[in-house]
């Protein structure tokens, strides 16, 4: 893939992701605070097509643009970036060398779990600074133990990233003709280099 094409794909997909970030809806009608936004899907597709760094770049640009458009919560945007970046990077790094559906599915499951763990650790670090309270104080206020609170954060992120992976698989199937084109191009480039 040429450099200009890579820049163009990352730009357009970031714009798409920014638009998608505004469409958020609750996963289960019973728990309205569990918001799901599909903006990581374009980032993941870009990561599969143009490499993990391109995917991470889409997450970065989308978060920055969302911050410009809606503004406000700096720390929330930063946490969104770290979670999204780790998810997209881990999902696509193996696929870079081995382009099969099985690899993609396995990497996405691993990335889902690892990113949920990353989110729990981030919350442990950031929440005390943000709320100026220790985690155990918040937990006792909500009548929970600290592990219970962390388990809820973990489950939330597991559902969030799991849903993104679940949606990306069928989309990947439909747009894979584009993937194949870029794969053939890659092979050609390699042949020329040799």
Partner 1 sequence: MYVPGDSPVHALDPRLKLLGFMGMIITIFAVRSAHGYFVMYAFLFVLIILSKVSPRFLLRSVKSIWFLILLAGVFQLFSGYGRVLFEFGPFVVHAESVFLAVEVVSRLIFVVLCASLMTVTTSPIELSDAVESLMGKLPGMKRFAHELAMVMSISIRFVPVMAEEAENILKAQTSRGAPIDDRKFTGKLKGILSVAIPLIVLSLRRAEEIALAMEARGYRGWEGRTRFRELRWKAKDTVFAMMVSSIIILCLFI
- Please report, as ranges, the residues that interact with partner 1 according to CB under 8 A: 2-5, 7-16, 18-20, 25, 27-29, 38, 41-42, 45, 57, 60-61, 64-65, 67-76, 129-133, 137-138, 141, 163, 166-167, 170-171, 174-175, 178
Report, in Å, the least distance between residue 6 CB and partner 1: 8
Query: Does residue 83 contact residue 122 with C-beta atoms inside 8 Å?
Result: yes
Nearer to partner 1, 70 or 98 (CB): 70
Nearer to partner 1, 65 or 114 (CB): 65
Tokens of 40: 């990581």
Q: In angstroms, rounded to a whole number, what is the distance separating the alpha carbons of residues 50 and 56? A: 11
Nearer to partner 1, 11 or 145 (CB): 11
Report DSSP letters for 133-187, one per residue.
S-HHHHHHHTT--HHHHHHHHHHHHHHHHHHHHHHHHHHHHHTHHHHHHHHHHHH
Q: In angstroms, rounded to a whole number, what is the distance separating the alpha carbons of residues 57 and 123? A: 23
Report, in Å, the least distance between residue 126 CB and partner 1: 11
Nearer to partner 1, 177 or 194 (CB): 177
Report, in Å, the least distance between residue 62 CB and partner 1: 8
Q: In angstroms, rounded to a whole number, what is the distance separating the alpha carbons of residues 67 and 52? A: 23
3-state secondary structure of 108: helix
Query: Does residue 20 contact residue 167 with C-beta atoms inside 8 Å?
Result: no
Report, in Å, the least distance between residue 5 CB and partner 1: 4
84 phi and psi angles, rounded to 5 deg: -65, -40
Nearer to partner 1, 65 or 117 (CB): 65
Report, in Å, the least distance between residue 78 CB and partner 1: 11
């Amino acid at each position: 893939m040429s450099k200009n094409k890579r820049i163009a794909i990352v730009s357009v997909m970031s714009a798409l992701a920014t638009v998608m970030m505004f469409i958020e809806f609750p996963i289960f009608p019973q728990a309205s605070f569990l918001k799901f936004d599909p903006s990581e899907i374009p980032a993941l597709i870009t990561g599969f097509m143009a490499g993990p760094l391109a995917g991470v770049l889409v997450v970065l640009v989308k978060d920055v643009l969302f911050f410009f458009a809606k503004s406000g919560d700096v720390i929330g945007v930063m946490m969104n970036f770290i979670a999204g970046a780790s998810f997209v990077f881990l999902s696509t790094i193996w696929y870079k060398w081995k382009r099969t559906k099985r690899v993609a599915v396995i990497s996405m499951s691993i990335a889902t779990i690892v990113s949920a763990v990353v989110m729990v650790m981030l919350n442990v670090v950031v929440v005390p600074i943000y709320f100026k309270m220790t985690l155990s104080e918040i937990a006792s206020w909500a009548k929970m133990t600290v592990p219970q609170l962390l388990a809820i954060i973990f489950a939330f992120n597991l559902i969030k990233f799991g849903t993104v992976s679940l949606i990306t698989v069928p989309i990947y199937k439909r747009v894979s003709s584009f993937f194949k084109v870029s794969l053939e191009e890659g092979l050609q480039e390699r042949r020329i280099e040799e």
